């Protein structure tokens, strides 16, 4: 039995709807399991212990994805389980069938549900109705799987994350929300530079400040140069999220001063690293020379989605 399995901390049967759902010991449990799985996978591209053998995961997609679909589907397969991809055209959540009816049916067929949707309330209703683990793989409010992969990536690079400064430049969006919540719990200083009118959800900021050892570690400003100065990491994301396409041109104008390029990085510092959750709009929120440059952690983040999600799946769905 692995060291993680012997831990008194257990995530068996647990949902993951918010980056704030996991305590510090629970995050450490996921990271420990992810580290072991990553080491084994990189050495052999296989896992000897098929901890999800016979387990199935329904994946509900209302938003398209490369990283989310591949990492969850491949992760389930690599651990001996099976994933069922369900697109909007297959299910019609809330249109063809009610959210609750979809949840009740899936609850009787599969061992877990992964949800990638618009309204956060859909993920919450599925979790409230089903008796099996429900994982938020992105809503308009949060993206906890991305935040877990990002903090895991930072710990790999820096050894520890307590005291690191992460500067998020752009929209106060779902990715920022989850980074603020998880970063606060893990001791990071999480800063945000956003244009007027594009700030984060006030309730989530208040929750992040309540989780932080010092509420002043959650910093919100509108000056990107001030926010990135001295940061260990500069993080950015697309200026226009799925569902906001009608605003794309206006956002491109408003967000132009928030582009992450070499000029902004020169203000941050000579050793500052760069993160982006992808997909990237090259030349908009980030330039290609920065995205592909030596300071970029982008591909490490993308890879670690696989390992961290497998860590959570193994602990939540796996047998004992």
Between CA 264 and CA 295 the distance in angstroms is 13
**How many whole angstroms separate alpha carbon 126 and alpha carbon 190?**
30
- Coil/strand/helix, residue 296: strand
Catalytic residues: 116, 143, 146, 237, 277, 305
Sequence-ordered list of residues with C-beta below 8 angstroms from that of 48, at least 6 positions apart, any chain: 40
CA distance 88 to 73: 17
- Enter the DSSP assignment of 181: H
DSSP helix/strand/coil, 164: coil
Which two structure tokens, joined as six digits, stand for 115? 């949800």
Q: Kindly give the residue spans of alpha helices, DSSP state H, lying in 272-297.
A: 288-291
Query: Which one, of 121, 89, 92, lies nearest residue 105 by Cα?
Result: 92
Q: Where are the beta strands (DSSP E) in the chain?
A: 56-61, 82-87, 112-116, 134-136, 165-169, 189-193, 218-221, 233-236, 273-276
Looking at residue 24, what DSSP letter applies? H
CA distance 190 to 196: 19
End-to-end CA distance of the chain: 9
Residue-level length of the chain: 320
């Amino acid at each position: 039995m692995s060291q993680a399995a012997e831990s008194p901390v257990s995530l068996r049967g647990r949902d993951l709807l918010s980056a704030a759902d996991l305590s510090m010991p629970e995050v450490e449990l996921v990271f420990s399991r992810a580290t072991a799985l990553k080491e084994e996978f990189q050495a052999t591209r296989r896992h000897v212990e098929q901890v999800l053998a016979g387990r199935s995961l329904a994946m509900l997609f209302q938003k398209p994805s490369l990283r989310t679909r591949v990492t969850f589907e491949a992760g389930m397969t690599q651990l001996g389980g099976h994933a069922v991809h369900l697109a909007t055209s297959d299910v019609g959540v809330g249109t063809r069938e009610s959210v609750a009816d979809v949840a009740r049916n899936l609850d009787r067929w599969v061992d877990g549900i992964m949800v990638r949707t618009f309204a956060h309330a859909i993920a919450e209703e599925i979790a409230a109705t089903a008796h099996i683990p429900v994982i938020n793989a992105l809503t308009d409010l949060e993206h906890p799987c991305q935040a877990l992969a990002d903090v895991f990536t930072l710990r790999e690079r820096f050894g520890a994350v307590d005291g690191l400064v992460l500067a998020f430049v752009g929209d106060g969006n779902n990715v920022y929300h989850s980074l603020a919540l998880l970063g606060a719990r893990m001791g990071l200083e999480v800063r945000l530079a956003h244009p007027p009118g594009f700030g984060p959800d006030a309730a989530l900021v208040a929750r992040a400040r309540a989780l932080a050892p010092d509420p002043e570690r959650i910093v919100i400003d509108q000056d990107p140069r001030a926010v990135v100065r001295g940061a260990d990491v500069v993080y950015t994301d697309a200026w226009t999220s799925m569902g906001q396409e009608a605003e794309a041109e206006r956002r491109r104008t408003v967000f132009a001063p928030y582009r992450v390029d070499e000029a902004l990085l020169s203000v941050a510092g000579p050793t500052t690293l760069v993160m982006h959750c992808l997909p990237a709009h090259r030349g908009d929120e980030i330039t290609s020379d920065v995205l592909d440059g030596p300071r970029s952690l982008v591909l490490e983040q993308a890879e670690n989605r696989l390992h961290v999600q497998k860590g959570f799946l193994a602990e939540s769905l796996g047998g004992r």
